[in-house]
Amino acid sequence: MEQERVTLIILISTVVVLVFAVAMIVLFSIFQHLKNKLLIDNKSLRDIIRNKLSSFDV
Partner 1 sequence: MSLETFRNLIPFSELLAAIIGTIYFFKYKHTSLKYFLFLLWYITLTEFTGWYVIEKEVLSLIFLDENGVKYNLWMYNLLRFITFNTLFFVYYNYLNTKMFKKWIKIFAIIYSSIYIINWSFIQSFIWEKSEIPKILGSIFLIIVILFYFIESLKLEKIVLFHKKLLFWISIGLLLFYTGTIPFALKYNTYMLIPGIHKLFLIIWILALIMYLIFTFGFIWSDKEK
Interacting residues with partner 1 (CB under 8 A): 2-3, 6-7, 9-11, 13-14, 17-18, 20-22, 24-25, 28-29, 31-32, 35-36, 39-40
Give least dist CB 48 to partner 1, A: 18
Structural element, H or E, at residue 1:
none
Q: What is the largest CA-CA distance in the chain?
A: 85
Three-class SS state of 48: helix
Give least dist CB 39 to partner 1, A: 5
Q: Which CB, 35 or 50, lies closer to partner 1?
A: 35
